[in-house]
Amino acid sequence: MNTPIIDFIREYQEREGTRFHMPGHKGHVFFGWEPFDITEIPGADVLHQGQGIIRESERNAARLFGAGGTFYSTEGSTQCIKAMLAILCMERGHCVGGKCQRGGYQGGGYLDGERQRMSRPWILAARNVHRSMVDACALLDLDVRFLWGDSPGSLCSHVISPRQLEEALRQGGDRPLAVYVTSPDYLGQMEDIGNLSRICNREGIPLVVDNAHGAYLHFLKEKCHPMDLGAAMCCDSAHKTLPALTGGAYLHVHPRFGERFLPYARQAMLLFGSTSPSYLTLQSLDYCNAYLSEGYEERLEETLERVREWKRMFGEAGGRVLPSEPLKIVLDTAGHGYSGREIGEELRSYDIECEYEDQSFVVLMVTPENTSRDWERLREWGKNTRMLWHPQERIPVAAGERLLSKRVMSIRQAAFSRSEMVPVEQAAGRVCAAETVSCPPAVPIAICGEEITRAMVGEFKKFDVKEVSVVL
Ligand SMILES: Cc1ncc(COP(=O)(O)O)c(C=O)c1O
């Protein structure tokens, strides 16, 4: 597959012309990559208003992923998630503080007490949303109603069943603007996107998927990317599982939803994106098209075989691994009596850095770019870990404690209120003003506008959060 962005920039830097344009390094080498770091000069196209090389490259990506339209982000899935919710608002004609053109919604103002009582458009979401989704709700004045699903004992995972969704949608009252799920999540748990999207399509409600961890799913033997399974829109962080630079991500719109959502996609991405996108990141997204179209499926399958083999070996030795999406290894350290943090430290002594560690789990993210040496180290650790040689009594995992609370004000109202930081011990009974999250996994423990409960305080402590922002 061709790489128009890479080709243009290579030619430009080989010409060694004089750069009286941004960036300030002028292509001189400080770190090594500066000659390839350009800005929107003639011929380089304009991200989100693309007509040239960026548009061409995005079309290549759309073809590869089977999307009706694909849009590049250099600011991660974070930008795409905000854009997806903005697209829903634009298509519906929801405007903050104003009148809705379609669908009968009249509210949205957040200062006027009378209007506040009128319901605003809302999203029905599985509870393990990334903070960017809540931020989008604050910016766009949306409400969320949460579904609490099956969880291995962590806020990171809430897998909802198709029946649960059907029941939630059967309840009367206003219909949601969209159903929103995170799949795969930080612990590699996956939603049944095929069945959820069938239900949503039957009900005429778009299914929007945070697929930040799952760009590669389209390239498995059994394709299970949200675009394969009928979701209306999704985002993929290319940088999480593909060889893209940090920040490289895609917003995909399903061909069946093209007519409804494509007209708004660029405008929505612009709303939340910088006017100075990184061309280094754009080149890496351009490169991914070539990478994915040239033998990636085979390389991915070889890698999955390595993962399966490692899990088999570790399991036979008595190691506990959580079932998960294929490119993650989720160690159930609590099952062996150790916190994820203790085992994270142990891995570090083998020069292995994990993606995520908490009280109960360690998550390792694998790609075909992991080398034989990486696997050798992991095998070595697997043979020697104290999880196997000195097992302790299982650490009880709270059974996915439901952090239920009272909503005191809208997400937007709380997010734009005057606020103060207080120690978590003093937070119970106050109203959350900003999501305080540990990063990763960046899943909010309390949502803006909710009253902070004692259970939430306990959860903050588990994630080592010391202070939270509350409404004054
Ligand atoms: C589930 C999930 N969604 C969204 C994001 C945001 O992605 P990005 O870092 O590409 O902005 C993350 C980040 O880790 C994530 O884990």
pLDDT tens for residues 231-242? 999 999 999 999
Look at residue 270 in the predicted model and tell me its pLDDT: 97
Residue nearest atom 7 of ligand 1, based on CA coordinates: 77
pLDDT at 259 over 70: yes
Rounded Cα distance between 145 and 184, Å, is 20
For strands 361-365 and 249-253, give the pairing: unpaired
pLDDT in tens, 359-385: 999 999 999 999 999 999 999 999 999
Show Cβ contacts of residue 157 under 8 Å, excluding neighbours closer than 6 positions.
128, 149, 150, 151, 185, 186, 187, 189, 400
pLDDT of 106: 37
SS3 133: helix
Nearest to 251 by CA among 80, 65, 88, 74: 80
* CB contact at 8 A, 210 and 227: no
* pLDDT exceeds cutoff 90 at 462: no
Percentage of the chain surpassing pLDDT 90?
86
Q: What is the mean pLDDT of the chain?
A: 93
Cβ 333 under 6 angstroms from ligand 1: no
Tens-place pLDDT, residues 124-174: 999 999 999 999 999 999 999 999 988 887 888 889 999 999 999 998 788
For 216, the token pair is: 């590669």
pLDDT value of residue 97: 52
Rounded to two decimals, the pTM is 0.94
Q: Scan for tokens 């109960």, then name that residue.
A: 360
From CA 64, how far away is CA 289, in angstroms rounded?
Answer: 7
Nearest CA to ligand 1 atom 9: 76
211 CB within 6 A, ligand 1? no
Instruction: Name the pLDDT band for 109 (thresholds 50, 70, 90).
Output: very low
Classify burial at 104, counting beta carbons within 10 Å of its beta carbon; exposed 0-12, middle 13-18, buried 19 or more: exposed
What pLDDT was estimated at residue 401? 60
Ligand 1 atom at minimal distance to the Cα of residue 182: 1
The pLDDT value recorded for residue 437 is 81
Domains in the chain: ranges and CATH:
4-293 (3.40.640.10), 297-389 (3.90.1150.10), 411-471 (3.90.105.10)
Cβ–ligand 1 distance for 214 under 6 Å, the answer: no
Does ligand 1 come within 6 angstroms of the Cβ of 273?
no
Is 178 within 8 Å of 124 (Cβ atoms)?
A: yes
Does 110 score more than 80 pLDDT?
Answer: no
Q: Is 249 in the pocket of ligand 1 (CB under 6 A)?
A: yes
DSSP 29-83: -SSS-GGG---S-TTS--TTS-SSHHHHHHHHHHHHHT-SEEEEESSHHHHHHHH
Two structure tokens written together for 217: 């799913």
Q: Which of 133-142, 194-203, 412-421, 435-444 has the lowest mean pLDDT?
A: 435-444
Q: Is the CB of 186 under 6 A from ligand 1?
A: yes
What is the per-residue burial (b if ≥16 Cβ within 10 Å, else e) of 398-433?
Answer: bebbebebebebbbbbbbbbebeeeebeebeebbbb
Could you tell me the pLDDT band of residue 117, with boundaries at 50, 70 and 90? Answer: very low
